[in-house]
Amino acid sequence: MDRSFVMVKPDGVQRGLVGNIVSRFEAKGLKLVAARFENLPETCVTEQYKEHLSKPFFPSLKTYIMGGPCFLMVWEGRNVVAIARKMIGSTNPQEAAPGTIRGDFGIDIGRNVIHASDSPESAAREIAIHFKNNEVFSYTRIDESVVYEY
């Protein structure tokens, strides 16, 4: 089954949005297979966002992400990477559609509440940055046989 790395950023944690966000993914039919809080060390932030190292916003992005604990998750499901990107919405919350997480909860691009991997390759890379194999769990959700058309 496909997996994606999803992370509630410090603003989302501090605003008490973790439960709402987890509920949305659970209700969609996706399966939470790993989760924990972490104050991300600089090395992980740099690895996570290495494509943006040379961007002008990188210093403020690093300060933002290191500003408090993040809630790190791995979600599993058919085509979960694309689904999660749709559910979080556009990078700029002002352009994100209502009904998406960023569209419903954010205003500024530098406080956009949540991260989700942008491709299956990024997902594999990001999951490996943040989770050991034995921190990602395998179990059956009892609704799987009705969520999916087999």
Active site residues: 115
If one counts every other C-beta atom within 10 angstroms of the C-beta of residue 55, the result is 11
- Region of 28-36, 37-45, 56-64, 67-75 interacting with ligand IDP (CB under 6 A): 56-64
∠56-125-118 over CA atoms, to 5°?
60
Return all residues near 52 (Cβ < 8 A) that are at least 6 apart: 58, 61
- Region of 16-24, 29-37, 54-62, 69-77 interacting with ligand IDP (CB under 6 A): 54-62
Closest to ligand IDP by CB, 57 or 137: 57
Distance CA 10, CA 59 (A): 16
Among 18, 109, 124, 129, binds ligand IDP (CB under 6 A): 109
Q: Interaction with Mg ion in 110-139: which residues (CB under 5 A)?
A: 118
Is 112 a binding residue for ligand IDP by CB under 6 A? The answer is yes
